[in-house]
């Protein structure tokens, strides 16, 4: 594939060298460009500050924050459909700055089951004069269900790994055609499903990207489906075991009361959840049930959520649970009448192939194997498969919020530990940064805004691995900065200065 891509890039350079990208005519030329298995449907120059995303019947992509497109510079917008198989219809967009291109390319990803192009995720790289690309992964949908894959194995493969690779290859061809040269650096920056997509690129196509930032990666995806069913099952199998939002909030406050100050600073979140033992039984109702206490059944629910998926026959833990501190968000998986649909549709559509399948029938002994076998070869990234990516100098920046209530933080820690125990992985090639008090892809009690794209760019460009990444809070809340540290180090207050200022914290190993 590498030789094939080089051939096409050379051909494109011969045909399009010497263009002046700032002119609309040069962008329009791309409409007639012939690329393998690809139909270009749009090639137009968009004036600065005028872009508006096309309306979607599904609303914005799941979890996408509001984005203003007014700051966008003028850019060449190319839309295309790629059909590597007869059943593939992979929509992509490639945006290229009309002027001041920095010579680099950024690939962006999706949330949950994808189904839409994430225009919002493309905005920040373009504003910083990167060329950027995105895809819907080969189907249209809300992201909540896997119906698109019923009877369409090629579409599952497109979602699992093929669409992002095809997008990347074609984007580089378009960049070479527009600017007269290909990107000197290619980066992947995304979260959740997008994080898994980045890991998959490193695993299956190690030549596609030089640096990959994968936050809260939804990997292994099949395990995550089982974990989600387990969490919902724990709360919903018995009406008496369910927790209300008020009870979850009381539980979160009890956790903070027990664990916040153990890092030496009382700041509304715990910097080191691994080293604080918390038992939800501290909120056991001493009399009548109330919104600020837990019944015995509810305590059992939370112990199951924290404890992880266990084999009912042997008692052995199969998959990790959610760390204490994630109560505010994990409730989304527990509010019924069934577990989170992203997981239940996987079971109904692809595992049991029965639209009437009931989560209460799931056997966490026998059915865990069935659930993994239904999609692991397409959806999961093995941690010991990244050696070729590291061998060519690839850099992997992992991150995860400790308060993530949709994807357990322990999943990424386990992946990191496995990766670093394998071939080719060193502190110069892979690092993990845990974000205290941060929910899924952002939000939460702690500082959660940090420049992942800048960090992976600097690392890949200079070769100097980051020894800390500074996170901040958004406007409108009390200002705070805090260093995120390379795992297993955590941030420790130096003893003087404001506890809201990252400069007064040092990264060090737990004592």
Annotated catalytic residue, options 190, 192, 213, 399: 192
Q: Count the alpha carbons within 13 Å of 130 in the hemisphere toward its beta carbon.
A: 23
Distance CA 509, CA 159 (A): 39
Distance CA 189, CA 195 (A): 8
**252 noted as active-site residue:** no
Could you tell me the CA-to-CA distances from 489 to 123, 153, 449, 473, 497 in Å, in that order?
33, 43, 19, 21, 21
| Count of Cβ atoms closer than 10 Å to residue 99 Cβ | 12
The pair of structure tokens assigned to 45 is 């120059």
- The phi and psi torsions of 379 (rounded to 5 degrees) equal -105, -20
The pair of structure tokens assigned to 424 is 């080719």
- The answer to whether residues 18 and 177 touch, using CB atoms and an 8 Å cutoff, is no
Measured in whole angstroms, the distance separating CA 457 from the mean position of its chain's CA atoms is: 18
Annotated catalytic residue, options 404, 429, 445, 457: 404
Q: Which of 334, 5, 344 is nearest to 146 (CA)?
A: 344
| Count of Cβ atoms closer than 10 Å to residue 44 Cβ | 14
- The answer to whether residues 438 and 444 touch, using CB atoms and an 8 Å cutoff, is yes
Annotated catalytic residue, options 349, 440, 457, 492: 440
Could you tell me the CA-to-CA distances from 99 to 45, 49, 57, 120, 145 in Å, in that order?
11, 14, 33, 21, 40
Could you tell me the CA-to-CA distances from 322 to 282, 327, 377, 407, 410 in Å, in that order?
18, 9, 25, 8, 7
| Count of Cβ atoms closer than 10 Å to residue 235 Cβ | 24
Could you tell me the CA-to-CA distances from 327 to 140, 331, 392, 447 in Å, in that order?
32, 6, 41, 18
**440 noted as active-site residue:** yes
DSSP 380: -
Q: Name every residue whose Cβ is closer than 8 Å to that of residue 221 and which is 6 or more positions away in sequence.
A: 196, 375, 379, 380
DSSP 351: I
Q: Name every residue whose Cβ is closer than 8 Å to that of residue 27 and which is 6 or more positions away in sequence.
A: 21, 43, 44, 45, 76, 77, 78, 96, 98, 178
Cis preceding-peptide flag for 488 (omega within 30 of 0): yes
**400 noted as active-site residue:** no
**Active site members:** 192, 404, 440
């Amino acid at each position: 594939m590498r030789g094939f891509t080089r051939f096409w890039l050379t051909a494109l350079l011969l045909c399009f060298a010497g263009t002046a990208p700032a002119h609309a005519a040069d962008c329009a030329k791309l409409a007639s460009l012939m690329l393998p298995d690809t139909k270009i449907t749009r090639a137009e120059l968009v004036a600065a500050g005028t872009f508006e995303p096309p309306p979607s019947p599904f609303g914005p992509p799941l979890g996408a924050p509001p984005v203003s497109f007014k700051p966008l510079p003028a850019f060449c917008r190319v839309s295309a459909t790629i059909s590597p198989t007869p059943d593939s219809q992979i929509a992509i967009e490639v945006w290229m700055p009309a002027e001041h291109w920095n010579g680099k390319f950024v690939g962006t990803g999706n949330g949950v089951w994808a189904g839409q192009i994430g225009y919002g995720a493309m905005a920040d790289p373009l504003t910083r004069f990167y060329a950027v690309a995105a895809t819907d992964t080969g189907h249209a949908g809300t992201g909540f269900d896997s119906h698109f894959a019923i009877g369409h194995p090629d579409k599952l493969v497109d979602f699992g790994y093929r669409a992002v690779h095809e997008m990347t290859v074609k984007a580089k061809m378009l960049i070479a055609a527009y600017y007269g040269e290909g990107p000197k650096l290619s980066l992947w920056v995304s979260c959740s499903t997008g994080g898994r997509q980045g890991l998959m690129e490193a695993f299956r196509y190690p030549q596609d990207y030089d640096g990959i930032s994968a936050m809260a990666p939804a990997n292994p995806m099949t395990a995550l489906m089982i974990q989600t069913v387990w969490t919902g099952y724990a709360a919903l199998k018995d009406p008496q075991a369910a927790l209300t939002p008020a009870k979850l909030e009381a539980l979160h406050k009890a956790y903070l009361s027990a664990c916040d100050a153990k890092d030496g600073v009382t700041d509304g979140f715990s910097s080191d959840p691994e080293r604080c033992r918390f038992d939800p039984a501290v909120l056991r109702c001493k009399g009548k049930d109330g919104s600020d206490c837990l019944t015995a059944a509810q305590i059992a629910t939370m112990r199951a959520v924290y404890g992880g998926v266990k084999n009912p026959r042997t008692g052995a833990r199969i998959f990790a649970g959610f760390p204490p501190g994630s109560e505010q968000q994990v409730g989304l998986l527990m509010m019924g009448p069934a577990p989170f649909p992203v997981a239940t549709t996987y079971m109904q559509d692809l595992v049991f192939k029965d639209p009437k399948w009931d989560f209460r029938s799931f056997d966490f002994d026998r059915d865990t194997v069935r659930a993994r076998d239904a999609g692991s070869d397409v959806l999961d990234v093995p941690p010991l498969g990244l050696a070729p990516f590291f061998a060519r100098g690839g850099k992997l920046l992992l991150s995860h919020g400790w308060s993530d209530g949709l994807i357990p933080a322990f999943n990424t820690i386990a992946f990191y530990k496995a990766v670093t125990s394998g071939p080719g992985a060193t502190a110069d090639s892979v690092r993990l940064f845990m974000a205290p008090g941060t929910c899924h892809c952002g939000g939460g009690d702690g500082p959660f805004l940090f420049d992942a794209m800048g960090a992976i760019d600097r690392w890949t460009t200079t070769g100097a691995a980051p020894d800390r990444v500074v996170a901040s809070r958004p406007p409108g809340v009390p200002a705070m900065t805090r260093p995120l540290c390379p795992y297993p180090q955590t941030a420790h207050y130096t003893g003087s200065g404001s506890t809201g200022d990252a400069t007064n914290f040092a990264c060090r190993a737990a004592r």
